[in-house]
Structure 1
Amino acid sequence: MAGYDMPDEAMDVAVLEGLRSLRLRKRRITAPKEDEVQLQINCVGICGSDMAYWSKGVAGGFVQLDFSEEGLNQGYCGQMGHECSGTVRSVGAKVTHLQVGDRVALEPGVPCSDCKLCRSGRYNLCPKMRFIGSAVNRVPGALCRKFNHKASYCYKLPPSVSLQEGAMLEPLCVSLQAVTRAKVGVGHHVFVSGAGPIGLMTAMCAKAAGAATVTITDMVDAKLEKAKEIGADYTLKADMPDLLSALESCIGEKFDMSFECCGVPAALNSCIQATMPGGVVCVVANLPQSIPLDLQVAVRHEVDIIGVYRYCNLYPRALALVSSGKINLKPLISKTFQLEEAQAAFEHFASGEPIKVIIQPSAPEQLV
């Protein structure tokens, strides 16, 4: 069933038509290009950036969504979804490593492959990156029944990895990028601020890299309980009195590496103050453009502050960690919804306690 023989067809798409207002619309999908595959989308995870678009119309300080009828008819506006997996239903003429029926995880960002950053191996920073479900470059997302994607950015899932786990490889790669850039290794003591999906996955990646202890803070008791379940050694309420002293008492000293995963400016300062001289603070979450920062503390202690923007060359490693059992993503799944229930899925996620909410546009066995 070659993709280039398929006619255009209509499909259901969940479209954000206004703040906190998702509705199903019909949009057409073309046959895949010669280097693409067409997928039956099975699982889509709701990301923090999706939630920001849903609740505020903007994410990460980038482009504000245009909810006018003209904007909605442009084909992109409001079509979110980048944490996704699916089943190959047709292949382009030049695709040889995938076939109909293969279950795959999508790496949502497709770089230009030709600029200096791409050629140096840091394609996540490509200025021409086409990242699906992003208002920045107006590329439609995968919160729909079917989706075309470049085949070289689709990774075949082994039988041991579920489609739900396949969709969760994307946020796992963010955490893996953070732990890799911070150079977490055997015996290190790690602090993670924020026990949302990225914070918990960062804890998992740190443990997989050999960290001796992981300490996590959060404001939500249920998330701290989940942190204990996935292997965190110490958990603390983020608003407790004298948090810094309590953090240091966990391991008897400051931390080798700290990861800011909640997007709260005060939490970043806590990370800086909780990190030992010569250590590393890695900023993973999106923060306001301008924040008060204890830079002098970082300078005086030679604490390196590094950033993370998505990930690069990490999908095979993330998949290996999950398929080998070194990282178990299943405990992070809070609830699953159908595409028709997309609005309810976002409302459920907005309650604050769920870790990972997944929308299933098509059943795994559905290939039409």
Structure 2
Amino acid sequence: MSVTPLQALPVDQLRQRSSTKWRTYPEDVLPLFVAETDFPLAPAITQRLERAVELGDTGYTPPDPGIRSAFVAFARRRFGWDVEPRRVRSTCDVMMGVTEIVRAIIEPGDRVVVTPPVYPPFYDCVPEAGGVVERVPLTHVDGRWELDLAGIEAALADGARVVLLCNPHNPTGTTHAQESLAALAEIAERHGARVVSDEIHAPLTHAPAEFTPFLAASDAAARVGFAVTSASKAFNLAGLKCALMVTASDATTAVVDALPDEVEWRTGLFGALAGVAAFDPASDAWLDALLATLDHNRRLLADLLAAHVPGARYEIPDAGYLAWVDLSELGWGANPAVKILRDAKVALHFGPKFGAEGAGHVRINIGCAPEVLTEAVQRIGTLLAR
């Protein structure tokens, strides 16, 4: 059955927003950097928030705002993943959840493995939790990004205590294979380590790729793993502040249950209300329409780069709306987004912020109208002719 793509809002309307994407740069800049999308909210979310405002329902978040059961149903429906509600606890956002879990399972000074190029806050949350970052870059073989399992095992054998996983991976858009995740779990268990998996982009996995929740990858993964996720990326709810910490064993659940009450108190009420509406079956059609739009855009970007920015290297991502593009051959330096912002008036995310492996790269947000994406790449292409 065909799905009608979701239509982005007009740019003049988007410029009335007060969020980071639309308030960081002047109006002559097209913003395709931070992870916000340009679409209207799912109707069920709008209706729920409008009702809350009508009621003045702006108080403290209750002990059970419904987000646990809503996520459990969503995970079963969309991923075929059975989650026990008692093993789900909320907090403010994914990186706060990651930080608090890491803080709880390491001793100060312990090393935590990250897999660059990777989401820049990973480099900040580890020291905030008292750990030290240990870099084990992804490998790139035959056009696929993969975990360096041998490198991770060496790090754990040498004393690292935690692997901070990005699944699906940001910025490459890679969905890690079940076999790779199961192998990672076995390695971690063999060395008495834990895995904390950021799974915020999971709802945006594009067919035929499949998302495998880390905790469902194997029995060992259930024993050693923690997952942290949210509706915020798929449904554009980052400002409302609600994330979920998920476990699958008694030992890991005890860790999350023992976190200070304040960790859960940080959950935003509007975030919880919006998350319940996002995870409801009523929002599935909206999510499917979004996926249709993003699928078109991820392929459109390949065509646009080939036509206007020859020399750019880009592999269509498995998931998400963030495209990782190598512009090294253009000779625009280690951080080509600086030149692109200055001379083409297009704001992209700075590649080096994702680690040394990001030199010469940019990350492009394709969660916009095809016309906006087209104009952005055409502007970048004019730099080659100057």
TM-score (norm 1): 0.33
Higher helix share: 2
Structure with the higher strand share, 1 or 2: 1
Higher RCO, Cα 8 Å, sep 6+: 2
What TM-score comes out, normalization by structure 2 length? 0.32
